[in-house]
Amino acid sequence: MVKVNLTKRQKEIIDTALNLTAKGGIQNLTIRNLAENLGITEPAIYRHFKNKSEIVKTMIKNFEVAGNQKIASVSNEGITGVEKFVKSRFSLVAANPPLAKVLFSEELFMDEPEYSELLISMMHKHKNSLKVMLLKAQEDGDIRNDIEFDMLFRLIMGPVRLLIKQWGLSNAAFNLIEKGDLLWESLKKTLKS
């Protein structure tokens, strides 16, 4: 199990780790680079984390929390819940830009099965909470009924992920929140029943 309550130093370390990963991939996330960027020596890192794996896993777990985001817990709010969820993705990333380059990058962590599993389980958690809301939205008549959930999920999260990726690749060259709102408007238009 990975710690949830982090010391100030631990937070600094995983924050630096996220920045290094965002800048140059996991290849760039080395203990040496970490220490250098923190202004301490490599062994000092091990006073705060057992090993590199714990650092990476803690970093991944904190993707969620990075922007002090609380994931709507089993909300059954229908389409407003979907909207909240989608928009929370944008504000999460906007508040912590390096996230744009790693949040939806499952491939970055595929060298260690432990990492991929963590990410995939997070993806499934999201999918499940969206499922409840989307089915409710279909019931409410807010979302068309002629497309099944799995496909609906792709139609929504695909563009969301792509927009965030484009924002990351462009180095935050546009206003993500604005474009995100616009995307949501387009999604509502195309998916309403």
Partner DNA sequence: TTATAGTTAGTTAACGGTAACTAACTTGAG
Partner DNA sequence: CTCAAGTTAGTTACCGTTAACTAACTATAA
Interface residue list for a second copy (CB under 8 A): 23-28, 101-102, 105-111, 116, 120, 144, 146-147, 151, 154-155, 157-163, 165-166, 169, 182-183, 186-187, 189-191
Please compute, for residue 186, the number of CA atoms within 13 A of its CA located in the half-sphere on the CB side.
11
Establish if 47 lies at the interface with DNA (CB under 7 A).
yes
Q: Is 11 in the site for DNA (CB under 7 A)?
A: no
Q: Is 53 near DNA (CB under 7 A)?
A: yes
Q: Are 32 and 16 in contact, with CB atoms under 8 Å apart?
A: no
Nearer to a second copy, 46 or 174 (CB): 174
Q: CA-to-CA distance for 39 and 33, rounded, in angstroms?
A: 10
Count the residues of the shown chain that bind DNA, applying the rule CB under 7 A: 19
For DNA, the closer CB: 4 or 39: 39
What is the distance between the alpha carbons of residues 66 and 15, in angstroms, rounded to a whole number? 9
CA angle 29, 34, 38 (to 5 degrees): 155
Burial of 146 (0-12, 13-18, 19+ CB in 10 A): exposed
Q: Enter the DSSP assignment of 70.
A: P
Tokens for 172, please give them: 């935050």
Q: From CA 153, how far away is CA 20, in angstroms rounded?
A: 31
Give whichever of 1 and 146 is closer to a second copy, judged by the CB atom. 146
Pick between residue 48 and residue 101 the one whose CB is nearest to DNA. 48
State which residue, 7 or 190, has the beta carbon closest to a second copy. 190
188: contact with DNA by CB under 7 A: no
Minimum CB distance to a second copy, residue 5 (Å): 29
**Least distance CB 31 / DNA (angstroms):** 4
Footprint on this chain of DNA (rule: CB under 7 A): 7, 9, 29-33, 35, 40-44, 46-48, 51-53
